Structure 1
Amino acid sequence: MGHPLESCTSSDTVAGYVIKFDDHHVTIRTRCGEIVVGAYGANFYGELMTNLGEDRVTLSRSETVSRLHEGLYVFAYGVFYPVDNGVEFVIINMWITEDEDKNFLLEDPCWWVKQAANIADFYLTGQFPDGVPQWRASYRTELSLEGQHTETLTRPSFRQETDTVSRMVYGMATAYLLTGEDRFLEAAESGTQYLREHMRVRNDLEEFVYWYHGVDISPSGERKIFASEFGDDYDAIPIYEQIYALAGPTQTFRITGDPRIQSDIDETISLFEKFFRDTENDGYFSHVDPVTFSPHERRLGQNAGRKNWNSIGDHAPAYLINAYLATEREDYADFLRRTAKSIVERFPDTDQSPFVQERFFSDWTPDRNWGWQQDRAVVGHNLKIAWNLTRLSSLSSSDSALETLSHHLADTMPSVGLDRFRGGWFDVVERQRDDVSGLHMFAWHDRKAWWQQEQAILAYLILAGVYNREEHHELAKEASAFYNAFFLDRQDGGIYFNVLASGIPYLVGNERMKGSHSMSCYHSIELCYLAAVYLNLLILKEPLELHFKPSPEGFSDGLLRVAPDLLPKGRVVLSEVWVNGQPYQHFDRNAMTVDVPRKRGQLKIRVRLCPSDIPCDVSVLWKGNIVRITAKGRFDNTESALRLSRVLSLALENEPKLVELDLGNVTEFSRGALNELLLLRAKADVTDVFKVVSASPDVLAELVDTDAFDLREMGFDNVF
């Protein structure tokens, strides 16, 4: 029997790099090495990669062809037609990933920050339509595709799951970190308080905390759901639910330093140590019995005496790294090192499979018969290990085993988990190769989940940033492109749960929802935050600003720690701090700590982090409708001139009355940088003037010749 393509049509996506093109055809090289020639269809058009909240940009046939060039990464969607000598690929539409100047659109320093704010607003509006975060009355575990509480979801009785509340709190707190918008922090703090009051149980005698699976809300009151009622974990207390109960509060703790949250973190860790930790063989069990709190009870069934990826590996990304970043406590660091050690020593199975082993008996013997997993691999878990071991290698720089395993997985996964023809990363596959095809067969389907794309993007971004390998950077760009092309719901907002192999959204059952047991705004906003951190600070060499709001009782040692993530020592520094909008000098540049003012009151602290080797920087400070642009360093090439232009352009979008330019710490100012200033000055719609308030002698001489700026404060009378 011949291949179906020999007798019928098939629509599909081709992802790859343009190697040649003309007015009628384009030739694309895929990552798997296939050369695909596509003919432009009768109604062929292009689409420019746009972010959430932006207008869709379509390109005509001629405009699309004019954007093509050798090396451009594209997604071409079309139909394969059977013809006499094989098949012909006719392209319907094509995603373009670069702007007219050949800049990769997803490497705009503001891309991920804008996306985070848009996703956060989608969930904030969907869960709290009146704008007030009333968690008990309004929050629902489920949220429709459109981001609404549908008729089914507005019943007077409903369930709220602890972990989905916590995941949304994480998203809100992280959106505040990136934007400083108070509405996000208000939701995070009120959500954290709701978790503490309704879903937390404290054992005062033994000083540990555990968290309910959820709460049933009805007109007559609320009913606590003690043990999990999720299929795989039914009538047990799974450790991953306790872990993710901490995710949102811990991220909020980074911002506020609320000591009540730190107490909850410590006492939940006490729960892990007392009941989940295997003191004989090390590691942590995946489940305990809800009555005896023993991991060995027979009624736990297939979960009795078991360990898995979640019980070992989820601590670090969900809460523990963030708790360490906020405190630098050595006990948190030791916990992180222990989990990393368990992963490195127990999970690799290189003699049997390129994928790690994910489930174990108590003595670490692999369990290859458990439930749905059997001897299968979750692709995203392998990528998550590569990502998190790279983070943890900055905490344990002398442990080369972490780096070795992270590189091994990063180098191995593309050939077994990546769709090298269409782009994007697969879900669950068999760990062993099929005897006939030699492939790792899909467990159920070839769909692609949003959270697994996140793991790929973050893994390859941090690897590219830390180790400067171009192959990793390319994989990060390709994964980012697939995610942004196909997972962003540009019509209703938010992120799709799953897409088909071709990138078309899969909208069936729970996977149609934007809120469910499995999905809130945790992974999507975590991706935005850490992609901004790795991309800006490690790869693009761009600054990143973060926002904090210490509570009156927060940060008892007087230090606000603002390191954005576990990164190699010395690669990032704290360059500027503002407290309540005013420049503030009491901070440690290298330690990335801020001395919190003793007179607390209501503090809003904005910090500016920079790569330690950044040649120049431009910051913005608003005072009412007056904006001050402060430039520092060398503006001696096109890249630095464009950085100045980009920051100034963003400031001008808010229509200031006056623009103040502080160029006193500029050591070199090329003609290109000056021309960028002149161009923006000519286009600006301001009611007053561009005023230079400080400039070095060499820069001042250049400015005087232009006669385009107010230099009165510098001793000159010319006013444009």
Structure 2
Amino acid sequence: MAGTTGFSFSDTIAGYVVRFDSGARLLRLKTADGREFEVSLAGDPSAELVRNLDEPYIDASGHIDEMLSPGRFLFVYGVHYPERDGRFEAKRLVFLGRGAEDYRFEETGWWIKQIESLADFYKRAQFGDGPVDFTEYRTEIRLGGDKTASHVQETDTISRLVYGMASAYLLTGKDEYLEIAERGTEYLRKHMRVVDTEEDVVFWYHGISVDGDSERKLFTSEFSDDYDAIPMYEQIYALAGPIQTYRVTGDVRIKNDADATIRLFDKFFKDEEQGGYYSHIDPILFSPDHESLGENAERKNWNSVGDHAPAYLINLYLATGEQRYADFLEYTFDTIADRFPDYKNSPFVQERFFRDWSHDTAHSWQQNRAVVGHNLKIAWNLMRMNSLKAKPAYEELARKIGQIMPAVGSDVQRGGWYDVVERVKQGDEETYRFAWHDRKAWWQQEQAILAYLILNGTVGGDENLREARQAQAFYNTFFLDHDEGAVYFNVLASGTPYLLGTERLKGSHSMSMYHSAELCYLAAVYNNLLINGREMDFHFQPDPTDLPGRTLRVSPDLLPAGSVRIASVEIDEKPYEEFDADELTVHLPDVQGRVKVKVRLRPVNRK
């Protein structure tokens, strides 16, 4: 039997067109790190335009020659033949826009449409065509939206769904999304919240196990890293959805829960002597040093110190403007800027610590490894905080991370960002070895996109814009599931979806609607308001009597002072004039009951 001899493999190249020889059907591409590849188009590859969720396939196969203009960025998927002069034969081309300088994900409504599609997917998956009944909620959701046999409802994943729905309402004003956010918040308060009147705190169950009409409370975490303990990050993320809902509604009960949970953090997780917050406490004595915690005793990590800000604290400050939340944010970022950099030993931050802030390099799965997305997340959130209270340490560290990370954490040939790598090189190796695999997770792409968007939107820089565009291009080309809806958990290095184990799921302990919706919300804000100078609408639905002084605060994020102002306001679809355009506040009418508020924000030319 005849067969093909020689070694070959499929791969992807993300690059900028250097030249294209139409007659010879040869394309020269330059990757992000400056290497050039020759690609053969002799086999008549297909070509398409990148498309958003719920958009049809857009064929560009008949326009290949005219679209391959110098400088255009695109993806080429094909077959590499290393034993045949290293030839790369293209099989599929993906263009990012119709023109050479066009990127479709920079369209005004791109991310708004995407969050709508995400919300519709998760609404359908969790509640079908019936009423919004959270007794039907399940943590595990299959690829197409079906539920698994697991009947555990995890607090954090409900909260993350609530966050996504509240964010979708902020951008679209669709009542169906707010209904889910509010009912989910009520369900969390009724079923997952514990009010400890003696200690004057609130804490949250890991979840509940549902069996018919009965439910069993799961007090401690059942996740392997945190088993039989109360991890800080689960308490943090229990607040994420309710606080985003609070931004929309101003429901004072939510704020009271947040304040009581912060008292829990300060009373039982905070290290008053050495600073920072412990990662775990035991469920009996609420102690961070009990022997039952094993290797989690007296430990601090990125989640316990840094995750307050993006999960709930920035949004709590945006909704209230209260100085105590600003002080908490400052304490958080001062700690990060002081303790996390470790540039004498590694280009990556240190993420795990003992009580005295010495480095924990042997903990569980992490060992001395770097989570790429955590580095990027620090840069993104430092620049947010720098808009609230500017400090040289914040901007310097964010800029440094932005400059260092592409060479050590991104895939400079294919595009996209890696997962976990070794923090130090092994021997004489030139690269930082992958911990387990070279796959790319959806949430780490989010951190890269937001980090470079906000860096470009606040301090400028062509390199920051280029990194932001490349990250958005990879995410929108390879992570959107055009067959089943929503986004994939992981893709292979080449961009092919990885669909095994829990990474096949659209809902799990690690995935709900949080990161994908957060990306949509903030990518829309940064692209439109900070970078491209476009107006945006935001929607709220408060009861004026719930807000101090009937004042609604409408800043969409921590943005540079004076960069955005209110252009117009509507209340119940009628023009309304009582607002402070520069302070981003609306003075609501003296009425009982809820009002629908639509606020148009206009970017201010700061050049």
Q: Does TM-score exceed 0.5, indicating one fold?
A: yes
The 2-side partners of 1:264 and 1:301 are apart by: 30
**What are the residue-to-residue correspondences of 1:539-618 with 2, within 5 Å?**
539-551=531-543, 553-613=545-605
Rounded Cα–Cα distance in structure 2 between residues aligned with 1:59 and 1:400: 47
Deviation at 1:87, TM superposition (A): 1.2
Aligned-pair CA distance for 1:366: 0.6
Q: Give the aligned partner of residue 173 of structure 1.
A: 166
Corresponding position of 1:377: 370
Are residue 298 (structure 1) and residue 291 (structure 2) matched? yes
Query: For the residues of structure 2 that align with 1:31 and 1:82, how far apart are their CA atoms?
Result: 21
In the alignment, structure 1 residue 195 sits paired with structure 2 residue 188: yes
Per-residue CA deviation, residues 206-231 of structure 1 (Å, 9 max, x unaligned), is 21000000001112511100010100
Q: Residue 146 of structure 1 corresponds to which residue in structure 2?
A: 144
SS in structure 2 opposite 1:606? strand
Which residue of the partner structure matches residue 123 of structure 1?
A: 122
Give the secondary structure class of the aligned counterpart of 2:421.
strand
Q: Deviations over 1:663-706 (max 9, x none)?
A: xxxxxxxxxxxxxxxxxxxxxxxxxxxxxxxxxxxxxxxxxxxx
Residue 54 of structure 1 corresponds to which residue in structure 2?
55
Q: Which amino acid aligns with 2:467?
A: L
Question: Whole-Å Cα distance in 1 between the matches of residues 527 and 77 of structure 2?
Answer: 28
The residue that corresponds to 2:346 in the other structure is 353
Give the superposition deviation at 1:101: 7.1
Partner of 2:78: 78
- Look up the equivalent residue of 2:11 and give its one-letter code: D
Give the letter aligned to residue 66 of structure 1. Answer: E
2:316 maps to 1:323: yes
User: Counterpart of 2:19 in structure 1: which amino acid?
Assistant: K
Which of 435, 438, 449 aligns to 2:441? It is 449
C-alpha distance after superposition, 1:633-658 (max 9, x if no partner) = xxxxxxxxxxxxxxxxxxxxxxxxxx
Q: Which amino acid aligns with 1:64?
A: I
Could you say which residue in structure 2 is the equivalent of 1:641?
A: none
Letter in 1 for 2:188: L
Which letter maps to 1:91? A
> Counterparts of 1:273 and 1:614 in 2: how far apart (Å)?
40
2:204 is aligned to: 211
The whole-number CA distance in structure 1 between the counterparts of 2:235 and 2:403 is 33
8 Å contact kept, 1:124–1:131: no
Q: CA deviation at 1:553?
A: 4.4
Deviation at 1:205, TM superposition (A): 2.0
One of 262, 282, 286 as aligned partner of 1:289: 282
Deviations 1:53-97 (A, max 9, x none): 11111222x41222111111101000012455x211100011101
Indicate yes or no: 2:385 matched with 1:392.
yes
Query: Match for 1:458 among 430, 450, 455?
Result: 450
8 Å Cα contact 2:75/2:93 also seen in 1: yes
1:502-548: CA deviations, max 9, x gaps? 00000001000000000001000000000011110010000111000
What CA distance in whole angstroms lies between the structure 1 residues aligned with 2:134 and 2:563?
40
Q: 1:472 maps to what in 2?
A: 464
Q: Distance in 2 between matches of 1:551 and 1:189?
A: 14
CA distance in 1, matches of 2:178, 2:543: 12
* Amino acid aligned to 2:540: F
Higher deviation after alignment, 102-111 or 319-328: 102-111
Alignment partners' CA distance in 2, 1:545 and 1:222: 41
Q: State the partner residue of 2:403.
A: 411
**AA of the residue aligned to 2:58:** V
Cα distance in structure 2, aligned partners of 1:188 and 1:254: 11
The 5-angstrom pairing of residues 383-532 of structure 1 reads 383-397=376-390, 399-532=391-524
Structure 1 segment 8-19 matched on structure 2, within 5 A: 8-19=7-18
- Residue number in structure 1 paired with 2:253: 260
Residues 1:554 and 1:65: Cα distance change in structure 2 (over 3 Å): farther
The alpha-carbon deviation at position 614 of structure 1 amounts to: 8.8
Cα distance between partner residues in 2 of 1:9 and 1:438: 25
C-alpha contact 2:73 2:100 (8 A) present in aligned 1: no
Contact 2:291-2:297 at 8 Å conserved across structures: yes
| 1:32 partner letter | D
Task: Tell me which amino acid in the other structure corresponds to 1:569.
Answer: A
1:442 is matched by which residue type in structure 2?
A: F
- Verify the 8 A CA contact 2:196 2:202 in the aligned structure 1: yes
Contact 1:541 1:614 in 2 (8 A): no
Question: Deviation digits for residues 606-630 of structure 1, max 9, x if unmatched?
Answer: 0001112299xxxxxxxxxxxxxxx
CA contact (8 A) 1:258 1:553 kept: no
Matches within 5 A, 1:557-706: 557-613=549-605
Separation in 1, partners of 2:201, 2:441:
35
User: Equivalent residue for 1:646?
Assistant: none
CA distance in 1, matches of 2:431, 2:99: 40
Q: Secondary structure at the match of 1:42?
A: coil
Give the CA deviation at 1:395. 1.3
Structure 1's 63 and 451: CA in aligned 2 closer, same or farther, altered over 3 A?
Answer: same
Q: Contact (CA 8 Å) 1:119, 1:521: kept in 2 or not?
A: yes
Partner of 2:526: 534
Distance 1:174 1:95 in 2: 30
- CA RMSD between the two structures: 1.4
| Number of aligned positions between the proteins | 602
Equivalent AA in structure 1 for residue 341 of structure 2: P
- Identical positions, percent: 53
Q: Which residue of 1 is the match for residue 113 of structure 2?
A: 114
CA distance in 1, matches of 2:169, 2:251: 16
Q: Single out whichever of 191-200 and 51-60 deviates more from structure 2.
A: 51-60
**TM-score, length of structure 1 as denominator length:** 0.82
2: CA distance between counterparts of 1:301 and 1:552?
49
3-state SS of paired residue (1:57): coil
Q: Give the residue type in structure 2 aligned to 1:45.
A: S
**Letter aligned with residue 481 of structure 1:** A
Question: For 2:160 and 2:127, how far apart are their aligned partners in 1?
Answer: 16
TM-fit CA distance, 1:42: 2.2
Question: Which AA in structure 2 matches 1:39?
Answer: S
Range that drifts further, 360-369 or 430-439: 430-439
CA distance in 1, matches of 2:157, 2:578: 38
Corresponding residue number in structure 2 for 1:679: none
Is the 1:312–1:343 Cα contact (8 Å) retained in structure 2? yes
Residue 30 of structure 2 corresponds to 29
Q: Deviation per CA, 1:119-158, whole angstroms, max 9, x where unpaired?
A: 011001110002421001x1100111001225x35xxxx1
Q: Classify the secondary structure of the residue corresponding to 2:394.
A: helix
Report SS of the residue matched to 2:546.
coil
Q: Is the 8 Å Cα contact of residues 259 and 553 (structure 1) preserved in structure 2?
A: no
Could you say what secondary structure the match of 2:271 adopts? coil
Change (3 A) 1:494 1:470: same
Give TM-score scaled by structure 2 length. Answer: 0.97
Superposed displacement of residue 45, structure 1: 1.2
Letter of the 2:73 partner, please give it: Y
Structure 2 residue ranges without an equivalent (≥5): none
In structure 2, the partner of 1:227 is 220
CA distance in 2, matches of 1:553, 1:582: 20
In the alignment, which residue of structure 1 is the partner of 2:98? 99
Please give the alpha-carbon distance, in whole angstroms, between the structure 1 residues aligned to 2:130 and 2:275: 47
Structure whose alpha-carbon radius of gyration is higher: 1
Match of 1:335 in 2: 328
Contact 1:72 1:98 survives alignment (8 Å): no
Partner of 2:238: 245
